[in-house]
Amino acid sequence: MLRIFLKIIVGSIYALNPVIGVFAQNSFSQPLFEYNAINHPVMGKSGMVASHNELSSEIAAEILASGGNAIDAGAALGFALAVTLPRAGNIGGGGFMLVHVAKLDKTIAIDFRETAPASANRDMFFDADGNVVLDETYRFSHKSSAVPGSVAGLAHIVQKYGTMSLAEVLEPAIRLARDGITVTYDLAADLARTQRLKNNPASLRKFYKPDGSNYEVGELFKQPDLAWTLSEIAEHGVAAFYSGSVAKKIVADMEAHNGLITMDDLVDYRVIEREPVQSTYRGYTIEAMPAPSSGGTHVIQMLNILENFPLAKMGSESSDALHVMAEAMKFSYADRSKYLGDPDFVEVPTKTLVSKEYAKDLAKRISMERALPSDEVAPGNLAIYESDETTHYSVADEEGNMVGNTYTLMFSFGSGVVIEGTGILMNNNMGNFTLRSDIPDAFGLMGSENNLISPNRRPVSSMSPVLVSRDGAPLLMTGSPGGSKIISANMQMVLNVLEFGMNIADAAVAPRIHHQWRPEVLEIESGISPDTVSRLIDKGHNINFSQRSAGMGSLQTVMWKDGIFYGYSDPRRPGAGAVGVD
C-alpha cells in the first residue's frame, strides 16, 4: 500500500507555505495557538479529515495527499467506514451530505436517504385490531429495511464533483475488506454485546468465528463477501448494486425472508440534490440539510431564537444560558413533531420555520425565571408568518471543497440482517417513520401524518451536516450521530465556536444538554456544575438524574482559519480520529 507522509500535529509550531485555491486569501505563515485552551485540534496545511474511525480517516487523508479532492476523499471514507465501523458505516443504509463545491462556489445538499418500498403501507406494523405490533419484525428483520441509498449517494458525488474514478475511491475499502482489519477494542466490544447479530445466519458468519465465538482484540477480521460486493461496484458501477449482480442477491434474500425490497424498488431509487436551508447567525452564514432531514431546519430555528439573547455575557455553561437553550429546543422539537416530512409528498413550511420573525416571537415567550412546561409549548401556528446508530465525517481540502456526511443504519448494526453472499448489513430505517401521531419513534420523537409510511417516501431524520461560512468562504463543517440529539449537538457546537469563542476542540468537549419537548425531561451531561443544575431545577426544569448522559452525540469537525486546517474528533466515541494533510 502506498504510504504517504501525514503529519498529525497537536500543540507544536511549524512553518507553513501558503495554501492554494479559495483558502489562500487570508493565509498566515504560522498557526495561531491558544494557550488558554484546554483541548487542541489537529492541524494541517493542505487538508483535514475527521471521522469516527482513525484508520478510515487516514485513508481519506491519503486520497487528499495523492491529488484527490475532498469529494473523492469523502466518498472513499464512506465506503471504508462500511468495513471498519460496521455498526454505523454502511452501504446498506442512507443519509444526507452537504458538499461545498469550490469551482461552483456553491453548497449542495445531497439527499440519499432510504425510501419505503413500493409495497410498504401505513398499516404494515399493526395487527387486525389496529394495535401496533412492536416485535422483532418491526426492528430486526428483512421487513424493517427501507431501500438503501448510500452506494448511490457516494457514487453520485464522485461522478459529478470528484476528480477520481469510482473504482479508485473504492480501492482502499476493497483492500481492507479483502485483506482484513485488526480488531480494535471498540470493534471487539461492539460485536460481543450485539448478540442479536447471531440470529441471522449470514450475520453470524460475517461477524463471528466459524465456531460462533467472538473476535478478540488484535485478531484479523476479513470480510470477503463485502470485498466482492465492493469489487462488483468498482467494476460495473452503481448499476451493480441497483440492477445487477448485487441487486439480484439482495432481492433473492428479501424474497426468502418476507422482506419488501424488490428489483423495481432498487432500480427506481434516485439521489436528490436539494437547496440547503440557510440563515445567518451573528454575521456568519449557516447552511444545513433541508427536509426530509429535520436537523438543518431546527438547528437554524434554534440559532435564530437564541440570537435574541446575550448568551456570551451569560457565559457558556451558566444556568441562564443553558435555560434559554433548553427553552429554544422545546419550541423547535415541538414544531418538528408536526411540520416535518418528505417534501416530495407534503408541503413543509421551511421558510417560516427558519424565519427571523417567527424566531423573535418564540423568543418573547421565553421567561428567564421559569421553564415553560411542555404542555404550554405546542407546535406553532405558522399561518400568521406566511407573508443512536449513525456516523458522521467531515473533509476539507486546499481548493476550498468541503464535505460533511451523516449516514446511518438507524440502530447500531441496523436490522442485524446481512444479505447472503454480499456482506451488506441492512438498515432498519422503516422505524424512522411515524406509525401514528401518538406513538413516538425509536428515539422518543413525536411525529405527524406528514411522516407516515407511504410507498417511496423518505422518513424524517434528525441527521444534518452543518456548514458555517464567512464572507463567502467555508469556515467550518460539523455533524454528529445521536438520533434525536444530533440537532442539539450540532447547535451547541455552532454556539460554542461563534458565540462563546471556543476552538473546535474545546467546543466539542464542552458538556451538552438536550430537551426534545416530549418527554418533559432536560437531559444533561456529566461535567455541568451541581450549582448550575440546582439553579435549573429552581427554574422548573425536570432533570432526571437517572437519565444523566455520559455522552450526547459525537461531533466530527473540520475548520479552516487563518491559512490552517483544523480538525477534531469528539472523545465521546472511542476509535475516532482527525488526520491532517501536509
Q: How far apart are CA 429 and CA 116, in angstroms?
A: 9
At 546, phi and psi to the nearest 5? -70, -20
pLDDT score at 460: 94
Of the candidates 48, 26, 43, the residue with the CA atom closest to the CA atom of residue 563 = 26
Instruction: Give the E-state strand segments of 102-154 in sequence order.
Output: 106-112
* Cα torsion angle, 538, 542, 544, 548, sign: negative
Of the candidates 46, 11, 68, 24, the residue with the CA atom closest to the CA atom of residue 565 = 46
User: Residue 379: is its pLDDT beyond 80?
Assistant: no
SS3 state of residue 315: coil
Average the pLDDT over 83-91 and give the result.
97
In this structure, which amino acid lies at residue 133?
Answer: V
Average pLDDT across the chain, whole number: 91
Let me know how many helices (H) and strands (E) the chain has, helices first.
Answer: 19, 18
Residues 508-547: pLDDT tens digits? 999 999 999 988 999 999 889 999 999 999 999 999 764 5
Domain spans, the chain: 48-273+391-434, 287-390+475-566
User: Residue 1: is its pLDDT beyond 50?
Assistant: no
CATH topology (fold) of 287-390+475-566:
Serum Albumin; Chain A, Domain 1 (1.10.246)
In this structure, which amino acid lies at residue 227?
Answer: A
Residues 397-426: pLDDT tens digits? 999 999 999 999 999 999 999 999 999 999
pLDDT band at 192 (very low <50, low <70, confident <90, very high): very high
pLDDT score at 13: 25
Residues linked to residue 564 through DSSP beta bridges, in sequence order: 561
* Cα torsion angle, 203, 206, 210, 214, sign: negative
pLDDT score at 469: 98
Cα dihedral 53, 253, 264, 113 in deg (nearest 10) = -20
- 8 Å CB contact between 307 and 498: no
Q: How many beta carbons lie within 10 A of that of residue 376, not counting itself?
A: 10
Q: How far apart are the first and last CA of the chain?
A: 19
Of the candidates 198, 86, 98, the residue with the CA atom closest to the CA atom of residue 427 = 86
Q: How far apart are CA 334 and CA 114, in angstroms?
A: 24
SS3 state of residue 232: helix
Q: Looking at 51-142, list the stretches that DSSP marks H as alpha helix, in order from N- to C-terminal side.
A: 54-65, 70-84, 136-139
408 is catalytic: no
User: Which residue is catalytic, options 285, 390, 408, 532?
Assistant: 390
Sheet holding 106-112, edge to edge: 272-274, 106-112, 94-101, 402-408, 390-397, 47-51, 577-581
SS3 state of residue 123: coil
Average the pLDDT over 47-65 and give the result.
98
Residues linked to residue 44 through DSSP beta bridges, in sequence order: 565
Residues 240-270: pLDDT tens digits? 999 999 999 999 999 999 999 999 999 999 9
H/E stretch holding 473 reads: strand 473-478
pLDDT score at 374: 86
Residues 341-367: pLDDT tens digits? 999 999 999 999 999 999 999 999 999
Opening angle at CA 403, ends 398 and 406, nearest 5: 155
pLDDT score at 447: 83
Residues linked to residue 277 through DSSP beta bridges, in sequence order: 288
Per DSSP, the residues of 373-385 read: PGGG-----GGGG
- 8 Å CB contact between 379 and 338: yes
Cell output for 147: 431501500
